[in-house]
Structure 1
Amino acid sequence: MKGTTIHLDTFAGRLAAARLRDGLLDDLLIAPDEGTPLLGAIYRATVDRVVKGHGGAMLRLPEGTAYLKGAKGLQPGDSLQVQVTGYAEPGKAVPVTDRPLFKSRFAIATPGKPGFNVSRQIRDDDLRDSLLELAHDTLGPPADVGLILRSAAAEGDPDEIAADIMAMTELAQQVAKDGTRDPQLLVDGTDPHTEAWREWPLPDALYTEPGTFRTNGIDEMIEALRSPRVDLPGDHWISVEPTRALVAVDVNTGADASLAAGLKANIATARALPAALRCRGLGGQIVIDMAPAPKKDRRQIEHALRAAFRADPVDTVLAGWTPLGHFELQRKRERLPLHQILEG
């Protein structure tokens, strides 16, 4: 099927959301194990100890421990609000920030950062002005909670945008009034269905009936992700294999024996890699072992990588080439690796 479709269902007893683009799996969200702190969850945490020399602190949560960078001025026993920013590797603390954000589809409330802003992706000046006017009409003069209107607001209904603004601002103000000291959950993170609504653009078709994964072949697509192999156009393919230290990506030209086989395989890899990493929930250090290609082609390959990851919602830094000719990426760990779910 041509176009984009979104499917909301369950997989292996967990809530799941899948996005297909032209019939191929383009993105996948699956709920983690019960008890795992969800991305975006806000907690009241207690400082266990300050990690000297690292500028961070180990915190106590109701479900375990967390690590906060930039913990200047904190002392053991201090209580503070933190927000989960990613999933921890097995045996490690959950990464958190002490600057929580309250995010919905159209608006983000920013406590302690007053002022109204509009996403830079909205470039139409008249539309930006109308959205700012809507924010002022909804909230009045900027107070202690700021506001960012997201790119989805460009096509949103004004009443829905206003409702989002009020809901996020009121939630931020309510959480700010929390006066407890013991570790506890203040605001839960989003489940895959809510996150799909919040983060994915409107599709050409939406399927929510139970069993949509089975009837549309998505169960088989997810099971196929157990294999590291990703087939590319032109008989090229890549192998995406997570290790404890990093994610290794091996580029193969397959049966293509042409002079430009390496360049074509590397560019195809750049275009396919964001979806391959998204659907597998992989982050951290990514090392790409490129197919053999002349050094003069590196700029073209890097341009293709930057263009591909520019549209990817997961923060990814393109670190560049190594002396051995590999290309390195650093990707935020904001999803639970799929292989952990499938093996669980």
Structure 2
Amino acid sequence: MKIRLDNVVKTFDTFRAVRGVSLDIGSGELVALLGPSGSGKTTILRMVAGLEYAEAGHIYFGDLDATDIPVRDRGVGFVFQHYALFPHMTVGENIAFGMKVSKTKRSQAEIDRRVGELLGLVRLDGLGNRFPGQISGGQRQRVALARALAVDPKVLLLDEPFGALDANVRRDLRRWLRSIHEELGITTLFVTHDKEEAMDLADRLVILNEGKVVQEGTTEEICRSPNSAFVMNFLGDANRLAVTVTGGAADLDGTRIAAPGVPDGEAELFLSPNDLDWQPGGAGVPATILRVMDRMQARRVVAVSAGGRTLEFDVPPETSVRAGERGHVAIRNARVFAAG
């Protein structure tokens, strides 16, 4: 099922949460909505679900204008961050609930058979008679997904589904969710604050700020070609430095860095830690190492340039570096944007 948002607007009191958003989501596509708090992610998801109504614009499911269709009739499955399971119902009864209240009547035998299929799909065979309080958080989230899938939704909506879980469980569940999506092929819209989660899961990313789409594309397109200082800063883990551009290049402590298309004047320079190399005797920005922090797959180095700029970068774990060592930071790639 294709989804199309056409210039959708939503205001709460005097705050405009969504400001003319247009999106096309292909049939069977998994799209992640990313952005800071207040950027409109969850509001868009709730409008697609029918839990909020757009005050302007239209929402289409395929060729059908679904803008004013009630939530019960939209054919969507919704998974929330905090499970929203009924604690007094067993796992099986939670999964069956949507089928029992649906307009499409099913026999008890059909419902039981579908519950069994979904328990197998979400790898919870044998747990149908347990209550939500008797299973782990990760298992409860699988039950929530099974319940959403039980009504055979045309569209699956996920609102921070793993936000309440610890990092290791989230990592396992997102891999599992991706395999489920590939198996079922349901058009899925996914809201998360976790950039790594979105990049692992989604076919395409949509980055929002202040209720507007600021960039959309594949993970590769957005990571390799961020279109603004906001996107670069939002993606995080980049050195952000104020510089001056003259004649198509930025100056960093005497090192000239190409800034094509950026007008002369104040600008922001972004340097990814992966695009910087430490060279004890090579060319680059003169610097002194302040601190070395070991990670599982790398060593994070904090250095200060001769001009007093702090730079963070990664080196292979076997690299011998220590605080106080002097050398040069070589820049392999950089992005420069005009200031504010």
Q: Tell me the TM-score normalised to structure 2 length.
A: 0.23
Kindly name which structure, 1 or 2, has the bigger radius of gyration based on alpha carbons. Answer: 2
